């Protein structure tokens, strides 16, 4: 076997008559361990300059792919801007996490990761007793759980990574951000609430709080636990209150009985999940920050004759 080594100063060469061709050098070659080794020069008209015999791979090198044939590198997905309802998140790999979660009662949770989002949803649901021991385990398939009374799956494996949600344990080892979004929605559905009432805020920093706006106050009047106050719209006073977007409304219970403040209209489907005080005792307070303009009717689930209205206008 012979190798034809081209002189670098020539663009073309001839095979026939190579022993007299001034453009080539001929070398005797031999195979060693799947490699071709140039043994000695045996001919060719070109006088070797600095070329030396060397070992080269016997396999043919793959021709480089031209730049024009290479797939374009996808740019890193950017974060949406502003408020996005939880089920409307279209996650793409590498997308940056939201900065804040707003729950149905207006409370906000600062987020530093997608895991914080899952944890924020779970903690709010547990703190409001929408999820408790009776709902557990909340499953992921037949053998695993996302929420349980103990940090253990149904098959006996312990949670690899976990967070506490009240007295319950949240499994955060879900493998992907997309799964964390889906399981956040699953928790909300398990609680019987609407996932669209959970809003994620995307921005460079947490949503600014408007500091100059003082809270607005509503009083639950003494004796309102007895029918009759509704005739003069005197159960919640004022019955209708108008505030700007971003203002906190505080309800104070001045009655001797416990009451509730629940968004919705009792005769039109009842609670709508926007805010819910739960049962709060005499002398206690409940508050909610209104983030969007609109009209928000509410009522007392324990004393159904009681109703009120909050009107929110843009600043």
Is 308 found in the same domain as 220?
yes
Is a pLDDT exceeding 70 seen at residue 10? no
pLDDT (mean) for 203-207: 64
Is a pLDDT exceeding 60 seen at residue 115? yes
**Neighbouring C-beta atoms of residue 2, cutoff 10 Å:** 14
Comparing 160 with 60, the larger pLDDT belongs to 160
pLDDT value at residue 55: 45
pLDDT grade, residue 13 (50/70/90)? very low
**Neighbouring C-beta atoms of residue 125, cutoff 10 Å:** 27
Asked which of 146, 178, 202 is the last residue of a domain, the reply is 202
DSSP string covering 272-310, please? EEEEE---B-TT-EEEEE--S-EEEEEE-SSSTT-EEEE
Is 221 found in the same domain as 166?
no
Domain contains 69: no
The least confident of 95-99, 260-264, 293-297 is: 95-99
DSSP string covering 89-119, please? ----TTPPPPSEEE-TTS-EEE-SSHHHHHH
Is 87 found in the same domain as 22?
no
Phi-psi category of residue 195: left, alpha or beta, with phi > 0 → left and psi -120 to 50 → alpha: alpha
pLDDT value at residue 149: 92
Backbone φ and ψ of 312, nearest 5°: -115, 125
Rg (CA), the chain: 36
- Asked whether the beta carbons of 24 and 7 are under 8 A apart, the reply is yes
- Asked whether the beta carbons of 172 and 140 are under 8 A apart, the reply is no
Comparing 44 with 278, the larger pLDDT belongs to 278
The least confident of 139-143, 180-184, 234-238, 251-255 is: 139-143
pLDDT (mean) for 182-204: 90
pLDDT (mean) for 89-117: 85
pLDDT grade, residue 95 (50/70/90)? confident
Domain contains 77: no
pLDDT tens digits, residue range 43-65? 666 555 444 444 445 455 555 55
The least confident of 53-67, 88-102, 219-233 is: 53-67
Domain contains 74: no
Is 221 found in the same domain as 193?
no
DSSP string covering 188-231, please? HHHTT--GGG-EEEESSSPPPP-TTPPPEEEEE-TTTTSTTGGG
Number of domains in the chain: 3
Domain contains 252: yes
Question: What are the distances in angstroms from CA 157 to CA 119, 143, 183?
Answer: 21, 9, 19
Domain contains 211: no
- Asked whether the beta carbons of 184 and 218 are under 8 A apart, the reply is no
Which tokens belong to 63? 């021709």
Does the global pTM surpass 0.85? no
Full domain range(s) for residue 180? 82-202
Is a pLDDT exceeding 80 seen at residue 251? yes
Mean confidence (pLDDT) of the chain: 80
Q: Which helix (H) or strand (E) element contains residue 122?
A: helix 114-127
């Amino acid at each position: 076997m012979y190798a034809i080594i081209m002189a670098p100063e020539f663009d073309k060469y001839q095979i026939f008559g190579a022993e007299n061709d001034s453009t080539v050098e001929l070398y005797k070659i031999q195979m060693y361990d799947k490699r071709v080794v140039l043994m000695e020069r045996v001919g060719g008209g070109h006088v070797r300059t600095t070329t030396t015999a060397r070992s080269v791979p016997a396999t043919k090198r793959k021709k480089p792919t031209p730049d024009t044939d290479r797939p374009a590198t996808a740019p890193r997905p950017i974060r949406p801007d502003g408020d996005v309802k939880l089920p409307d998140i279209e996650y793409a790999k590498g997308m940056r996490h939201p900065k804040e979660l707003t729950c149905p009662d207006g409370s906000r949770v600062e987020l530093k990761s997608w895991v914080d989002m899952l944890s924020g949803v779970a903690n709010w649901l547990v703190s409001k007793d929408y999820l408790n021991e009776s709902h557990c385990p909340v499953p992921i398939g037949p053998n695993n759980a996302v929420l349980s009374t103990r940090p253990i799956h149904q098959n006996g494996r312990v949670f690899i990574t976990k967070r506490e949600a009240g007295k319950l344990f949240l499994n955060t080892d879900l493998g992907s951000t997309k799964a964390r979004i889906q399981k956040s929605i699953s928790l909300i559905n398990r609680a019987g609430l609407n996932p669209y009432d959970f809003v994620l805020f995307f921005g460079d920093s947490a949503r600014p709080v408007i500091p100059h706006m003082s809270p607005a106050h509503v009083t639950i009047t003494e004796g309102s636990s007895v029918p009759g106050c509704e005739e003069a719209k005197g159960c919640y006073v004022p019955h209708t209150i108008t505030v700007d977007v971003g203002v906190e409304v505080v309800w104070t219970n001045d009655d001797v009985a416990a009451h509730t403040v629940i968004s919705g209209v009792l005769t039109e489907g009842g609670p709508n999940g926007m805010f819910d005080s739960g049962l709060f005792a005499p002398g206690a307070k409940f508050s909610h920050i209104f983030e969007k303009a609109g009209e928000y009717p509410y009522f007392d689930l324990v004393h159904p004759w009681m109703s009120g209205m909050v009107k929110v206008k843009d600043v």
